[in-house]
Amino acid sequence: MDIHQLTRSLHTRNDSKIVMMVADGLGGLPLEPGGPTELEAAATPNLDQLAARGVQGASIPVLPGISPGSGPGHLGLFGYDPLTYQIGRGALEATGIGFELQAGDVAIRCNFCTLDDDGLIVDRRAGRIPTEQSSQLVEKLRQVAVDGVEIFVEPVKEHRFVVVLRGENLQDNVKDTDPQATGVPPLDPQATDPGSQRTVEVASDFLRQAAEILRDEPQANFHTMRGFASRPELPSYEEVYGLRAAAVAVYPMYRGLAQLVGMQVLGQPKTLAEQVEIMGQSWDDHDFFFVHFKYTDSTGEDGNFEAKREQTEKFDAILPSVMDLNPDVLIVSGDHSTPSFLRSHSWHPVPTLLVSDCCRPDGLTTFSESSCIRGGLGQFEAKYLMCLALANAGRMGKYGA
Amino acid sequence: MDIHQLTRSLHTRNDSKIVMMVADGLGGLPLEPGGPTELEAAATPNLDQLAARGVQGASIPVLPGISPGSGPGHLGLFGYDPLTYQIGRGALEATGIGFELQAGDVAIRCNFCTLDDDGLIVDRRAGRIPTEQSSQLVEKLRQVAVDGVEIFVEPVKEHRFVVVLRGENLQDNVKDTDPQATGVPPLDPQATDPGSQRTVEVASDFLRQAAEILRDEPQANFHTMRGFASRPELPSYEEVYGLRAAAVAVYPMYRGLAQLVGMQVLGQPKTLAEQVEIMGQSWDDHDFFFVHFKYTDSTGEDGNFEAKREQTEKFDAILPSVMDLNPDVLIVSGDHSTPSFLRSHSWHPVPTLLVSDCCRPDGLTTFSESSCIRGGLGQFEAKYLMCLALANAGRMGKYGA
């Protein structure tokens, strides 16, 4: 049975507040055997104090050994089975730049590329032209017009940009035009089902016009299209949990992911302190708050153990102001581990803490990778965290009589 | 793969005896952070001694965060996935009063109600008339006769009673007649599939006759019908485990649940001591014994920490007489937690103990919520407990070569 079949039928409503604090990439690794992880090296008095009141566990983002991207990592935390619900590449790229996809849109990741005089690809990334330059080209591509379709062209970074098609009968089963090789021409868009034929026509028309517009560019004289993807159909927090949910995040990707599950995205915060302030201002209007902190991940990806330790301490320092709001359920977790030792997302279970009046404390007094594996929540798949949140908030009825 | 596909093909037979002692609602919560749970506050020398010989774990009744009723709670312990096998409300109500449903029966929960002169519902529960009074009305309703159908009318409590229809072609996809509101008439029974049309005809005829019989009653002048449900089709212990299973329980609900999975229900015990005595008398006739103890749950539901602690000690005190029978596998668990702090069933994992000659002891010397999360069985879904029981009894063959 799908988890949401259960939560749909069992959830109840009350006045409780649930806060989910996500320190992106929270889990780490020691730099050498016997050494501490970033979290263990950090001074985290507030997390430790909360640990003494709460219950810990090790959250497995997808399945053992599977390192998720930001999309599946967050879907898991939000209670959406990341193997059932998938966000197509184009849709994730659009989401990541803050583009609000609508149902029926098709989003496409595009790369500027360099063609030679024979139309063969010389450089699949057009020399990774700087963002300032590609933004100007994106501006030019906004001239492209196709009857009956609204077209959005949005810069991303360097040679990358996004095209979103909005109109009738657009489906996303279309093959990439990037041949993943040089010395060959780009491929034509090709539908893998009849329902996507209209998308192929629009994309082909777009490419023809783009070729005209870009023809005299020295490097970026064409572009490829990849990852055609519609907005994923995700049931909303309101529908599956009965929660009026809000997200307070700095970065577009996480604001976008929250919006895909029907959370209201609050304010334009620049810092964690501002995020908590905004949460406090909207406290009465929502039942659930997702607060996203990016820098435990980015410092991990930089391979900077010390910086990740520092960012972990900054994250810890904000917790008293969160607790001042008196949430009924506080969850601290991460969407995956990002050990600076690996400089990448990893599969390692993520230390996860849940604090409520009825959480059954496990007697642990520190919050860490070593503690969490001895915690009362055991090791669990991230997708079950929202069930625990609802139960601890008194928002879940009894299953069966 | 369904667990029973495995146990069906792998189970073997021998002379071993398995005893499953179920302390209903065993798991609890501390009354304040840092305090003991009911089980931890109780003096349980026998459980602790067994813990030193055995292996512990934390049993998740259904899934994390899901609080089960008695039906799914026990189905899980019995090894039946509680999300796959569901017991309809009517069938559970009939089971709860000790009515032995047969395949093809349709059981219906009924409420006496009060109609005004216009036939509109004034009180959906007929003033919760006392059981003595409603029992007399139930007696009168036994006059109802419908051609080709055997009808049972059984009292439950106050305004509640059960009707069971036995005959050909009766299916249970019929909507409730209780409109869940006052000031409106009761609904007519309505089939949601063609196969249930005959049930609708019989139920409608029953209601017509009941209206006549009850018309002059001051309060209970009609009744509604809810939760139409056939006997659930549960494969038997004999078939899926090769076990001749017996149940020794005081309360009808648990005797009924055991009977639904093909256990033989033994005697009419009134106390735990009598239950163990009966088990001893039937020791040679069965391979598996389910012994149910109710009062750890009922005291929890009363919110009485002290009483639950005492009942836990009573449960502990019986264990030497169980061990005197020399079972090859002893399991101690609960169908769910019932913390007196919450006064209700809860989702918290249930301390579970397994003792056998080959259980791989985990070195723990107390049995409790805090211990079990560090135990050798880890956290596991209750539905796997029977596989562990069979394995420890030497009754499970090798999977694959």
| Percentage with pLDDT > 90 across chain A | 98
B78 and B128 share a domain? no
pLDDT per position as a tens digit, B340-358: 999 999 999 999 999 999 9
**In chain A, which among 17-56 make CB contacts under 8 A with chain B?**
52-53
pLDDT per position as a tens digit, A202-259: 999 999 999 999 999 999 999 999 999 999 999 999 999 999 999 999 998 999 999 9
How many domains does chain B divide into?
2
Query: How far is it, in rounded angstroms, from Cα A171 to Cα A201?
Result: 11
Strand partners, B365: none
Residue A400 lies in a domain: no
A–B: how many Cβ contacts below 8 A? 98
**What are the C-alpha distances in Å from B352 to residues A7, B35, B39, B67, B330?**
26, 21, 12, 17, 11
Range of the domain at A28: 3-86+234-392
pLDDT for residue B401: 86
pLDDT for residue B1: 72
Residue B169 lies in a domain: yes
pLDDT per position as a tens digit, A107-120: 999 999 999 999 99
E strand or H helix at B280, and its extent? helix B272-281
Of B295, B293, B289, give the one whose Cα is nearest residue B247: B289
B243 and B363 share a domain? yes
**In chain B, which among 313-372 make CB contacts under 8 A with chain A?**
339, 341-342, 344-349, 369-370
B121 and B193 share a domain? yes
A48 and A120 share a domain? no
B186 and B316 share a domain? no
pLDDT for residue B241: 98
Would you call A376 and B378 a contact, using CB atoms and an 8 Å cutoff? no
pLDDT per position as a tens digit, B74-86: 999 999 999 999 9
**What are the C-alpha distances in Å from A194 to residues A46, A198, A199, A200, B147?**
57, 9, 10, 10, 57
A18 and A158 share a domain? no
Mean pLDDT, chain B, rounded, equals 97
Within 10 angstroms of residue A114's Cβ, the number of other Cβ atoms is 21
Is the per-residue pLDDT at A2 higher than 90? no
Is the per-residue pLDDT at A401 higher than 90? no
Query: How far is it, in rounded angstroms, from Cα A105 to Cα A87?
Result: 13
What is chain A's Cα-based Rg? Answer: 23
> Quick check: B324 and B50 in contact, CB under 8 A?
no
- Out of A205, A230, A255, a domain closes at A230
ipTM summary value: 0.91
Strand locations in B263-395 (E): 264-265, 288-293, 329-333, 350-355, 378-381
Provide the 8-state DSSP code for B284.
Answer: G
B329 and B270 share a domain? yes
- Out of A206, A230, A254, a domain closes at A230
Residues in chain B closer than 8 A to A362 (CB atoms):
370, 373
Q: CATH number, domain at B295? A: 3.40.720.10
Would you call B65 and A378 a contact, using CB atoms and an 8 Å cutoff? no
Residues in chain B closer than 8 A to A52 (CB atoms):
33
Q: Is A324 exposed, middle or buried (0-12, 13-18, 19+ CB in 10 A)?
A: exposed
Strand partners, B386: none
Least confident of A64-68, A221-225, B255-259: B255-259
Strand locations in A29-77 (E): 55-60
Could you give phi then psi for residue B274, rounded to 5 degrees?
-65, -35
B48 and B97 share a domain? no
Is the per-residue pLDDT at B33 higher than 90? no
Residue B32 lies in a domain: yes
Query: How far is it, in rounded angstroms, from Cα B397 to Cα B384?
Result: 16
Residue B189 lies in a domain: yes
Residues in chain B closer than 8 A to A18 (CB atoms):
none
pLDDT for residue B7: 97
Query: How far is it, in rounded angstroms, from Cα A153 to Cα A143?
Result: 10
Is the per-residue pLDDT at B2 higher than 90? no
Q: Does A400 touch chain B (CB under 8 A)?
A: yes
A138 and A171 share a domain? yes
- Out of B207, B230, B253, a domain closes at B230
Residue A113 lies in a domain: yes
Would you call A358 and B83 a contact, using CB atoms and an 8 Å cutoff? no
Residue B191 lies in a domain: yes
Strand partners, A111: A160, A224
Residue B98 lies in a domain: yes
- What pLDDT band is residue B118 in, cutting at 50, 70 and 90? very high
B247 and B377 share a domain? yes
pLDDT for residue B385: 98
Going by C-beta distance under 8 Å and a sequence separation of 6 or more, which residues neighbour residue B35? Answer: none
A318: tokens are 């904000």
Residue to mutate among B29, B66, B92, with most A CBs inside 10 A, is B66
Would you call A399 and B370 a contact, using CB atoms and an 8 Å cutoff? no
Residue A181 lies in a domain: yes
> Quick check: B240 and B222 in contact, CB under 8 A?
no
Is the per-residue pLDDT at A354 higher than 90? yes
What is chain B's Cα-based Rg? Answer: 23
Torsion A243-A244-A250-A252 (CA) sign: positive
pLDDT for residue B46: 98
Classified as helix, coil or strand, A352 is: strand
A212 and A306 share a domain? no
B211 and B310 share a domain? no
DSSP string, B52-113: HHSEEEEEESSSTTPPB-HHHHHHHHTT--TTTS---HHHHHHHHTT----TT-EEEEEEEE
